[in-house]
A and B are shown apart, each in its own frame.
Chain A
């Protein structure tokens, strides 16, 4: 453990410097419109993110969602993550008080390495891709045994790009989750050791969980 610690510490330290202003510095070079927006307006994303669903009419007389706040354990974990020196902005709570951080795809592996080495987050509980109308999103849920809470990392890529760095070398549990993500959404996890279909048969043609994929496939595929 201590070996890893020593190895990872300088790496993370050097990485943290140049990448600190990556979200603002990187985004204009690529035409990653949604990423810039996401990077700059972190706090507004809870309210803004689910909004683009054109099919659903706004129901006015709805019980509003209760105000969100971090659980005490989540607060402690969020502070610890903020102390790592990655400029992640403020943690956003989900409805169970777990902190959520946005992270740009190119810093994901660096952040993951630092989290694993310095905070001991080696337990990847869940990995879920999402298909939003304007972007792909991948949510990683890590469990912290010390503070007894989950940490969510979110990374997003524009619709026309389906490459995202793989975290399988960091967390072996991600192996099948990423294969499933590829199988269901067609999101490619660059650097994955064996990115093949997992749940569907090898010769399956479509990506079933994409939003434009129909529920039923009449007449085969």
Chain B
């Protein structure tokens, strides 16, 4: 290396560079169903300020989002919508299950209308327990996700997608039977007459 470039050039892998960029600009989908959504909004406010981690850009549409923070209870009526939203997100995508309800149904676990955890529907990367989790916990969960993103490799991406698809197929077989009845209900129910 020529001596004049010694202090100006760094050597790294593409993976490291790519992951560094990815992990610091995780744009979440503003998907709030219940109480946890309020704490998710509180995370954006100056006291906690999630923008320190590059994730303040809450998108309204799943097509522009990388991360789905499932904040709140998922009911059986809502389940097809959650699946649809997840499938509309472009790869690479991650999911955080925020709060006891999204993790395992929470206090509503026994209820007839509640899905016992969002991982019955879509693959989840980070679980944040709490009812509701404090904003600090959300930020901690995000940092855990960033850590996970930094370990990924571009070469594994195909494998990751394949794994997701396989998981989803397995889930949809099981979950649709359990929660949704049959495949036809995966579409949004029609307009009321």
Contacts and interface: CB of A to CB of B under 8 A. Distances in A.
Interface of A: 196, 200-203, 206, 208, 213-217, 219-221
The 7 closest A-B pairs by CB, nearest first: A217-B112, A216-B110, A201-B77, A208-B112, A220-B178, A215-B110, A202-B189
Contacts of B185: 203
Contact of B76 (A201, A202, A214): A201
Contacts of A220: 177-181
Contacts of B10: none
Contact of B113 (A202, A203, A208): A208
Nearest to A219: B178
A214 B113 CA distance: 11
Mostly, the B contact residues are: loop
Contacts, number: 31
B2 interface: no
Given A215-B110, A215-B111, A221-B112, 15 more contacts: A200-B77, A200-B113, A201-B189, A202-B189, A202-B192, A203-B185, A203-B189, A206-B112, A213-B112, A216-B110, A216-B111, A217-B112, A220-B177, A220-B179, A220-B180
A219 B181 CA distance: 10
A206 B76 CA distance: 14
Interface in B143-184: 177-181
Contacts of B178: 219-220
A204 to B, nearest CB: 9
Q: Which of B112, B180, B181, B192 has the most CB of A within 10 A?
A: B112
Contacts of A196: 192
Nearest to B109: A216
Interface string B65-83: 0000000000011000000
Nearest to B176: A220
Nearest to A216: B110
A25 B76 CA distance: 48
Contacts of B112: 206, 208, 213-217, 221
Interface in B100-150: 110-113
26 contacts: A196-B192, A200-B77, A200-B113, A201-B76, A201-B77, A202-B189, A202-B192, A203-B185, A203-B189, A208-B112, A208-B113, A213-B112, A214-B112, A215-B111, A215-B112, A216-B110, A216-B112, A217-B112, A219-B178, A220-B177, A220-B178, A220-B179, A220-B180, A220-B181, A221-B112, A221-B181
